[in-house]
Each structure stands twice: as structure tokens, then as C-alpha cells.
């Protein structure tokens, strides 16, 4: 511990003794401070003697710690937890008749895109499988500026007027005194608010459905929600609603599965997106347009400006006009996903807003929030937010100005000739607002045309399969059972008879309400003439294949190598993926003595992480699994979550031990064409018939 010759010989070595420790030279760059000063020692602060005190003079220490202290920016007040990726949008055909938007002028045009998916209520570190709306925000870097479609995976919203948004979010997030529950609406404040806001009932049906627990971000739809306008070169306006349709189809998990995924892999959704892109299985959505004119708007049963309503696809079919492909993960999560700033007010020539009062409020909120989050007005200088087309204006200065105009002229009009005089407005190519005629008194009033709160809630409910209806009832019972105040439970249930009497009874029974609940006073009677819309159901719109899904294969020493290989071949032929789960992550020795590589150990890869499972132990290898709780859970959860199970005879003792009765969803793999039959069955995703025998 003594100084030798004034040097800290023994102690400067501390922290550098590791054989992987490298120093600069021979192609390894020299570590520097932010000011570019080369650093000689990054292991020890500057001290008076080896045991201190530390000197204030140590600018390297101070700079390093100061920077660390400032690493966080405010997380988003909503949609804090999110995951982004880069890609492109490709236009199928020119849409010049509809819009002058540059990205729709040429078939085959590719526009760079960045997409951020998110949950709404939870903090940045919350688990992915919360029951929640998913944000689906798309930034299109067009040749005429950035266009943001800041949507959700649900086509309607809770409220009709932006003035209620702070209340909605306060009520949905953790309660302010106790700061829980995290990332869930299953608490008094949310249901108190919802029960007092009948306009939320349509959205409540959606968030209580399986839409709010998607299997993957890749398997969900996206919606622009509001009505917008497309404007063509002649100034003609067409109303439009935006839809994103996943190429791989829709898929959700089961609530009991969601709860377990959150424990097994809280990053399930982001890991899935990352893995798909890294492996070249690029997720893809088609952009669908619902186009309609003033006549339709006037005749439609509801107000097209009311964000709690949708237009059924049966009434206005969807025209698919392009595809969105995500083909690149971010290089740096913070720089891109955290700093990306979406604004509903970012639209391009050829697109315009409608008077939806929710949208009008959003147009203020997003810009405002970016200034707070990103620290000033220059957030468009951050590469992820900068347009990819040329841009010129006279805005200047402010915090962290990165893009600074050169020259003398910083105002307009000016009499300096080009180029010194700078950019000029363009009446021909510049953004033009649609000259809608507006005239009325200035009032605070909700339109009468927004008053029907139950009819589309009913339509959504009756469009679901029996199974899906049951899930809605079950989640209402679950959420309301977490509400402490009986009056709130009762008040919420009082809305349900307006949607469906049987649903109301089922929820009341599930909650053990002893007295009959009187229906709430309705501003409008529920319409019963709205027909079921098949496209609102997930189960009635199954995917065409098992592509993009994942099989978990449970193996042990002695697993039949030929069978394993045949199974892999069938999975890969379907463009699905797999993970091998073995008693040890080091892998298993197959029947022919070769090693089967494993990605998970039993317990590390529970079946909730897979869309289907194959259980192919050897008879000997199965024995230790019988005592293994995780192995038993692997099969009993697969059964309870209605998964297809490929199996061999020697797995049967494990099924017996888990109390499983083999049904039609179990496919014997060692029969002729076993693996192919198994994968073909998996295309149905779940053995729904089994649900009547399982209560989760
Ligand atoms: Fe919002 C973020 C979607 C209503 C105010 N919202 C945000 C994000 C999405 C949505 C996807 C995350 C964007 C990202 O990934 O960075 N919001 C919606 C949809 C709505 C909606 C589909 C209804 C149709 N939002 C809404 C209203 C207001 C806001 C009515 C306020 C009046 N939303 C915000 C915000 C956020 C936001 C506070 C938080 C972080 C951010 O904007 O960038 O400004």
C-alpha cells in the first residue's frame, strides 16, 4: 500500500489485471473525454495518495459522472414503454386521383419509415404483456416532409374530446398516493372514471377483448383512428380512415398466458420483434384506406368526427394501397426509439385533418410534449426526427442547435437575391389546408351526434365468437374484482345491459353481485339493427399459415434424432421458428449420439413463450421430468392455453403426471407424416374446442 518512487505501482494495476483489459494502440482507438483529451487511466480517480481524498481537479472523473447523472430524459407521460424499428413503405399504385401526397404519386415508390410500438399505461420498465392498448406510431420520411400516423391497435378511443385526456390517463395510471398498480387498469380509479364516462363503453369492449393482449407486435392491426382527409391536386377532398393490416394475420394470447409471460419474459414483445428482424423475417403490414365522401358521412349512423366510433369494413371496404416493411433494428435504443418524436400535426401536402375534437387537441399536445421531453425546440435536429428531404427556413438558435443557417439573411421577406436571400414560400407545392367552410357560435358543447354510446359497443360484442365473448366477460370480472369499492363495480355493470343482457348477467354473477343491477340511464337507446361485422373478430380471421410463429421442442438425452430432424424440416418449411428446451442448456445427446443444441433449460423456456410445443423425450429421459415442476408446467400450461402439442409415446407419463387427457390437439409425431400433420394443425393456432374443459 506504499507509494514507490512517487508512482502508484501496485494500485494503478487494480482493475486492469484482467487479461481482456486492452490499452490503446495497434488499431484500438484512444479513450478520450468529451473534449477529446486522451485518457491515461479510466480505472482510478485522481487522489492524494492511494487512499484519497479525491481531488476536485479530476476533470475526467467529474465529466464522466456529470454526464451519467444526466442520462435520463423524462419518459413519455403515456406510451412510455415502447419499441421501434426502421423500414420502408412501398406504394402499390399511384393515387393521384385521391391525393397529391408525394409518396402516393408513383407505383413502387419506397418511403423510409420508423415505427414505434408501445403500451399506454405502464412505466418505461413495465412488462410487455400488460392488458392495454398498443400504440402503433408510424413516421414516414416523405419527399415532402415527415408524415406521422400516430395510431393504436384499436380503431376507437375512450373519449370524444381532448379535454378529458389528462383525466383518462390520471385515472388509468397508478393511483397517485400509492403509486400502484403498475401498467394495469384493474383498480378503482380507472373503473370509477370509465363508469362515469359512458362514451368509453365501446373502447372498454375492445380493451377487455383479446386485442389488448397481442401475441406479438407483428400480429396486430393498426389504426389511425380519426377521420382524415386526402386532397388531390385539384383540391378535391375525400375522407379517409387509415388501417394497417398485418401480413401474418392477427393473434393474441390468453389472459392466464399473458400473466405468466410477464414473469417468464417481461420483454416478450420487444424480443420477438428484434429476433424477427435480425433473422430476416421482416414484419409487414399493408396500408388500407377506408375512403368515403360527404354523402356517406351525412348518411352514416354515427358522426365520422367521433373517435369512439368506427366504420365497419362491410360498409366501407378497405382498399390496400401499399405495404410497410420493418427491416432494420435500431443501432441505439435511446437515440432512436426514445428520442423519436411523433406529432399528429406532422402531415404533408395532400393530407389534412378533420374537425375531430380529439385530433384537434392532439395536434397541440404532441408538439408541446416533445419540447418538454427533448429539452427545447430543436428536437427536429436529432437525426431520427429530421426530415430526409431538403428543408430550409429562417428558424434559428435555441438549445442544442445543430443545423444552423449560414449567411447574413435570417428573415423574410427580404430583398436579397437568391441564393443569399434564402428559401421562399411556394403557393403551388406548399401545404394547403382544405378550405372547409366553418361557421357557428363559439360554445362548449358536445355534439348531439356523439350521444350514442352503446350501439357500436354492442355491435363489437355480437361480432365476436362465443369464446371471444367469454374472454370479454372474464376480463371484466377479473378487472372489476380488483376494484375495492362496491359502488364502482355496480355502476360499471349498470352499463352492460345496454350492450348485451347476457354479458351483464355473466359479469354480475362472476362478481357475486347479490342484487339485480338497474341499467344506467342512457342518453340514447341502443340500436339493435347494426349487423355483426366479422372483421372485428380475431378468431374469425385466422392466419393462412403458421409462418412467423415459434415451436418449443422439449428434448432429453436419447431423443430420436430422425424425428427431431423431420420436425425441424417441417417447421422451417412453414417459415416458422423453434427453440429447443433441454434439461440443461448445454444440450442433449440424441439417440444416435449426436448433440442437440438447446437454447433454454427446462424452467427457462416455459411453454407460454411458444405458439405450439413438441414433447419428444426418450423413455429414460422422461423419468426425471416427472418430478420436475417446470416440466410438468410446460405441458399443463400448453394444454390449458389450448396449444397444439406434438408428442411421442414416451412423453405420455409426463402428461399423466400433469393430469392431462390427450385430445384432438395432440398429434402423434412418430406416425407417418407426423411432423407435417402437426404443423398443419398448428395453422389453426389454438385448439379452441378444448376451452370448455379448461378454466383459466
Ligand atoms: Fe396520444 C403519445 C396514440 C390520444 C397525447 N399517443 C402517443 C403515442 C401513441 C398515441 C401511439 C406514442 C407515440 C410514440 O411512440 O412516441 N393518442 C394516441 C391515439 C389517440 C391518442 C391513437 C386517440 C385516438 N394522445 C391522445 C390525446 C392526447 C394525447 C387526446 C392529448 C390531448 N399522446 C399524447 C402525448 C404523447 C402521446 C402526451 C406522450 C408522448 C408523446 O406524445 O410523444 O402528447
Mean pLDDT in the chain? 96
Estimate the share of the chain in helix, then strand, then coil, as percent rounded to the nearest 5.
30, 15, 50
Cβ-contact 219, 250 below 8 angstroms? yes
For residue 1, pLDDT over 80 is answered with no
Ligand 1 atom nearest residue 137's Cα: 11
Nearest CA owner, ligand 1 atom 28: 362
Nearest CA owner, ligand 1 atom 19: 151
Cβ-contact 262, 128 below 8 angstroms? yes
31 membership: H or E segment, kind and range: none
pLDDT digits (tens, 9 = 90+) for 587-599: 999 999 999 999 9
Tell me the three state secondary structure of residue 239: strand
Query: Which triple of cell numbers denotes residue 239?
Result: 375522407
Specify the range with the lowest mean pLDDT, choosing from 14-18, 422-426, 629-633.
14-18
Ligand 1 atom nearest residue 364's Cα: 32
Ligand 1 atom nearest residue 366's Cα: 44
What distance in Å separates the CA atoms of residue 409 and residue 394, rounded to the nearest whole number? 8
Nearest CA owner, ligand 1 atom 25: 362
In CATH terms, the fold of domain 17-69 is Cytochrome C Oxidase; Chain J (4.10.91)
Angle at 391 between CA 385 and CA 393, to 5 degrees: 110
Query: Which triple of cell numbers denotes residue 16?
Result: 486492469
Question: How remote is the CA of residue 366 from the centroid of ligand 1, in Å?
Answer: 7
Ligand 1 atom nearest residue 365's Cα: 44
Query: Which triple of cell numbers denotes residue 484?
Result: 375495492
CATH 2.40.180.10 fits 82-381, yes or no: yes
Predicted confidence at residue 11, as pLDDT, reads 44
Nearest CA owner, ligand 1 atom 18: 151
Question: How remote is the CA of residue 150 from the centroid of ligand 1, in Å?
Answer: 7
Instruction: Identify the bridge partners of residue 327 per DSSP, sorted by sequence position.
Output: none
Nearest alpha carbon to residue 154 among 139, 138, 134, 137: 134
User: In the chain, how many H helices and how many E strands?
Assistant: 19, 18
Question: How remote is the CA of residue 17 from the centroid of ligand 1, in Å?
Answer: 50
pTM of the model: 0.96
Question: How remote is the CA of residue 586 from the centroid of ligand 1, in Å?
Answer: 45
What distance in Å separates the CA atoms of residue 363 and residue 366, rounded to the nearest whole number? 6
Nearest CA owner, ligand 1 atom 30: 162
What distance in Å separates the CA atoms of residue 64 and residue 34, rounded to the nearest whole number? 9
15 band by pLDDT with thresholds 50, 70 and 90:
low
12 band by pLDDT with thresholds 50, 70 and 90:
very low
- What is the pLDDT averaged over residues 85-104? 98
Nearest CA owner, ligand 1 atom 4: 362
Q: Which DSSP letter does residue 276 get?
A: H
pLDDT digits (tens, 9 = 90+) for 209-257: 999 999 999 999 999 999 999 999 999 999 999 999 999 999 999 999 9
Q: Candidates 73, 74, 75, 76: which one to mutate for ligand 1, based on the most atoms within 8 Å of Cβ?
A: 76
For residue 681, pLDDT over 70 is answered with yes
Q: Candidates 333, 366, 373, 384: which one to mutate for ligand 1, based on the most atoms within 8 Å of Cβ?
A: 366
What distance in Å separates the CA atoms of residue 198 and residue 468, rounded to the nearest whole number? 22
- What is the pLDDT averaged over residues 490-506? 98
pLDDT digits (tens, 9 = 90+) for 137-151: 999 999 999 999 999
Question: How remote is the CA of residue 78 from the centroid of ligand 1, in Å?
Answer: 7
Active site residues: 79, 152
Nearest CA owner, ligand 1 atom 40: 76
What φ, ψ does residue 18 adopt, rounded to 5°?
-60, 135
Q: Which DSSP letter does residue 336 get?
A: I
Ligand 1 atom nearest residue 340's Cα: 16
Predicted confidence at residue 604, as pLDDT, reads 97
What distance in Å separates the CA atoms of residue 547 and residue 501, rounded to the nearest whole number? 39
Predicted confidence at residue 695, as pLDDT, reads 77
Question: How remote is the CA of residue 193 from the centroid of ligand 1, in Å?
Answer: 19
- What is the pLDDT averaged over residues 362-375? 97
Q: Kindly list the protein residues whose Cβ atom lies closer than 6 A to any atom of ligand 1.
A: 76-79, 82, 116, 118, 135, 137, 150-152, 157, 162, 165, 225, 307, 340, 342, 358, 361-362, 365-366, 369
Task: For the beta carbon of residue 141, count every other beta carbon within 10 angstroms.
Answer: 21
Task: For the beta carbon of residue 318, count every other beta carbon within 10 angstroms.
Answer: 18
21 band by pLDDT with thresholds 50, 70 and 90:
confident
Question: How remote is the CA of residue 322 from the centroid of ligand 1, in Å?
Answer: 25
Largest CA distance in the chain: 95
What distance in Å separates the CA atoms of residue 421 and residue 414, rounded to the nearest whole number? 6
440 by Cβ neighbours in 10 Å (0-12 / 13-18 / 19+) ranks as exposed
For residue 13, pLDDT over 70 is answered with no
What distance in Å separates the CA atoms of residue 418 and residue 423, rounded to the nearest whole number? 8
Tell me the three state secondary structure of residue 326: strand
- Alpha-carbon distances of 432 from 50, 98, 359, rounded to whole Å: 69, 15, 18
Q: Which residue has the higher pLDDT, 1 or 161?
A: 161
Predicted confidence at residue 223, as pLDDT, reads 98
What distance in Å separates the CA atoms of residue 576 and residue 252, rounded to the nearest whole number? 17
Cβ-contact 136, 152 below 8 angstroms? yes
Label residue 139 left, alpha or beta by phi (over 0 means left) and psi (-120 to 50 means alpha). beta
Q: Candidates 273, 342, 359: which one to mutate for ligand 1, based on the most atoms within 8 Å of Cβ?
A: 342
Predicted confidence at residue 696, as pLDDT, reads 74
Cβ-contact 607, 583 below 8 angstroms? no
Question: How remote is the CA of residue 235 from the centroid of ligand 1, in Å?
Answer: 29
Ligand 1 atom nearest residue 358's Cα: 30
Ligand 1 atom nearest residue 152's Cα: 22
pLDDT digits (tens, 9 = 90+) for 173-223: 999 999 999 999 999 999 999 999 999 999 999 999 999 999 999 999 999
Ligand 1 atom nearest residue 77's Cα: 39
Predicted confidence at residue 672, as pLDDT, reads 82
Question: How remote is the CA of residue 152 from the centroid of ligand 1, in Å?
Answer: 9
- What is the pLDDT averaged over residues 109-114? 98
572 membership: H or E segment, kind and range: helix 561-573
Question: How remote is the CA of residue 149 from the centroid of ligand 1, in Å?
Answer: 11
Predicted confidence at residue 17, as pLDDT, reads 54
Nearest CA owner, ligand 1 atom 37: 78
Cβ-contact 319, 93 below 8 angstroms? no
Label residue 27 left, alpha or beta by phi (over 0 means left) and psi (-120 to 50 means alpha). left
Ligand 1 atom nearest residue 116's Cα: 15
Predicted confidence at residue 6, as pLDDT, reads 41
Label residue 588 left, alpha or beta by phi (over 0 means left) and psi (-120 to 50 means alpha). beta
Is there a cis peptide before residue 250, judged by omega within 30 degrees of 0?
A: no
The b/e string for 444-460 (b: 16+ C-beta within 10 A; e otherwise) is eeeeeebbbbbbbbbbb
What is the chain's length? 696
Angle at 63 between CA 57 and CA 65, to 5 degrees: 105
Predicted confidence at residue 22, as pLDDT, reads 83
Q: Candidates 80, 341, 365: which one to mutate for ligand 1, based on the most atoms within 8 Å of Cβ?
A: 365
In CATH terms, the fold of domain 550-693 is Rossmann fold (3.40.50)
What distance in Å separates the CA atoms of residue 440 and residue 450, rounded to the nearest whole number? 17
For residue 64, pLDDT over 90 is answered with yes
Predicted confidence at residue 8, as pLDDT, reads 44
147 membership: H or E segment, kind and range: strand 145-152
For residue 7, pLDDT over 60 is answered with no
Q: Which DSSP letter does residue 120 get?
A: S
What distance in Å separates the CA atoms of residue 82 and residue 212, rounded to the nearest whole number? 15
Question: How remote is the CA of residue 344 from the centroid of ligand 1, in Å?
Answer: 8
Nearest alpha carbon to residue 650 among 630, 679, 620, 673: 620
Domain boundaries, given as residue ranges, for the chain: 17-69, 82-381, 550-693
Nearest CA owner, ligand 1 atom 31: 362
Query: Which triple of cell numbers denotes residue 410?
Result: 435570417
Predicted confidence at residue 671, as pLDDT, reads 83
Amino acid at each position: 500500500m506504499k507509494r514507490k518512487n512517487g508512482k502508484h505501482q501496485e494500485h494503478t494495476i487494480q482493475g486492469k489485471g484482467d487479461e481482456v483489459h486492452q490499452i490503446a494502440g495497434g488499431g484500438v482507438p484512444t479513450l478520450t473525454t468529451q473534449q477529446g483529451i486522451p485518457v491515461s487511466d479510466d480505472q482510478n480517480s485522481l487522489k492524494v495518495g492511494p487512499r484519497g481524498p479525491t481531488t476536485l481537479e479530476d476533470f475526467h472523473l467529474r465529466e464522466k459522472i456529470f454526464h451519467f447523472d444526466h442520462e435520463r430524459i423524462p419518459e413519455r407521460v403515456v406510451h412510455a414503454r415502447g419499441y421501434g424499428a426502421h423500414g420502408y413503405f412501398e406504394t402499390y399504385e399511384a393515387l393521384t386521383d385521391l391525393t397529391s401526397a408525394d409518396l402516393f404519386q408513383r407505383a413502387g415508390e419506397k418511403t423510409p419509415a420508423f415505427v414505434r410500438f408501445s403500451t399506454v399505461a405502464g412505466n418505461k420498465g413495465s412488462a410487455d404483456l400488460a392488458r392495454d392498448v398498443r400504440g402503433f406510431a408510424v413516421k414516414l420520411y416523405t419527399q415532402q416532409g415527415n408524415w406521422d400516423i400516430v395510431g393504436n391497435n384499436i380503431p376507437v378511443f375512450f373519449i370524444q374530446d381532448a379535454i378529458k385526456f389528462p383525466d383518462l390517463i390520471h385515472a388509468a395510471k397508478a393511483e397517485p398516493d400509492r403509486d400502484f398498480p403498475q401498467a394495469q387498469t384493474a383498480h378503482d380509479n380507472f373503473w370509477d372514471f370509465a363508469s362515469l364516462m359512458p362514451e368509453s363503453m365501446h373502447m372498454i369492449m375492445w380493451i377487455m377483448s383479446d386485442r389488448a393482449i397481442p401475441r406479438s407486435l407483428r400480429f396486430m392491426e393498426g389504426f389511425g383512428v380519426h377521420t382524415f382527409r386526402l386532397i388531390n391536386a385539384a383540391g378535391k377532398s375525400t375522407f379517409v380512415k387509415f388501417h394497417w393490416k398485418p401480413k401474418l394475420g392477427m393473434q393474441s394470447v390468453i389472459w392466464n398466458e399473458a400473466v405468466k409471460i410477464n414473469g417468464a419474459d417481461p420483454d416478450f414483445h420487444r424480443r420477438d420483434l428484434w429476433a424477427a428482424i435480425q433473422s430476416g423475417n421482416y414484419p409487414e403490414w399493408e396500408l388500407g384506406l377506408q375512403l368515403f365522401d360527404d354523402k356517406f358521412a351525412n348518411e352514416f349512423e354515427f358522426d365520422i368526427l367521433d373517435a369512439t366510433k368506427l366504420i365497419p369494413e362491410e360498409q366501407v371496404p378497405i382498399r390496400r394501397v401499399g405495404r410497410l416493411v420493418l427491416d432494420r433494428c435500431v443501432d441505439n435504443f435511446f437515440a432512436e426509439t426514445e428520442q423519436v418524436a411523433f406529432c399528429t400535426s406532422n402531415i404533408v401536402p395532400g393530407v389534412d385533418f378533420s374537425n375531430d375534437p380529439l385530433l384537434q387537441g392532439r395536434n397541440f399536445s404532441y408538439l408541446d410534449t416533445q419540447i418538454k421531453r427533448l429539452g427545447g425546440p430543436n428536437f427536429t435536429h436529432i437525426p431520427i426526427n429530421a426530415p430526409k428531404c431538403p428543408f430550409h427556413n429562417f428558424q434559428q438558435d435555441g438549445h442544442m442547435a445543430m443545423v444552423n443557417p449560414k449567411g447574413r439573411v435570417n428573415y423574410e421577406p427580404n430583398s436579397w437575391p437568391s441564393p443569399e436571400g434564402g428559401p421562399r414560400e411556394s403557393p403551388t407545392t406548399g401545404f394547403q389546408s382544405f378550405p372547409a367552410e366553418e361557421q357557428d357560435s363559439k360554445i362548449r358543447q358536445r355534439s348531439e351526434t356523439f350521444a350514442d354510446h352503446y350501439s357500436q359497443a354492442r355491435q363489437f360484442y355480437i361480432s365476436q365468437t362465443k369464446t371471444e365473448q367469454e374472454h370479454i366477460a372474464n376480463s371484466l370480472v377479473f378487472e372489476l374484482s380488483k376494484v375495492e369499492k362496491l359502488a364502482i363495480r355496480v355502476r360499471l355493470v349498470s352499463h352492460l345491459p345496454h350492450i348485451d343482457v347476457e354479458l351483464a348477467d355473466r359479469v354480475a354473477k362472476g362478481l357475486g353481485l347479490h342484487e339485480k343491477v338497474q341499467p344506467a340511464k342512457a342518453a340514447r337507446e341502443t340500436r339493435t339493427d347494426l349487423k355483426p361485422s366479422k372483421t372485428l373478430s380475431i378468431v374469425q380471421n385466422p392466419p393462412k399459415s403458421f409462418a412467423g410463429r415459434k415451436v418449443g421442442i422439449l428434448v432429453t438425452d436419447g431423443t430420436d434424432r430422425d424425428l427431431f430432424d423431420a420436425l425441424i424440416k417441417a417447421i422451417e418449411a412453414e417459415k416458422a421458428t423453434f427453440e429447443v428446451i433441454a434439461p440443461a442448456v448445454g444440450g442433449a445427446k440424441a439417440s444416435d449420439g449426436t448433440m442437440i443444441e438447446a437454447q433454454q433449460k427446462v424452467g427457462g423456456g416455459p411453454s407460454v413463450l411458444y405458439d405450439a410445443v413438441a414433447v419428444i423425450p426418450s423413455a429414460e429421459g422422461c423419468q426425471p421430468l416427472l418430478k420436475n415442476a417446470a416440466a410438468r408446467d410446460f405441458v399443463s400450461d400448453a394444454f390449458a392455453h389450448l396449444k397444439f402439442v406434438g408428442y411421442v409415446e414416451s412423453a405420455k407419463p409426463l402428461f399423466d403426471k400433469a393430469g392431462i387427457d390427450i385430445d384432438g390437439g395432440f398429434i402423434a409425431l412418430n406416425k407417418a407424416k407426423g411432423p407435417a400433420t402437426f404443423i398443419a394443425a398448428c395453422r389453426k393456432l389454438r385448439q379452441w374446442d378444448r376451452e370448455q374443459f379448461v378454466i383459466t
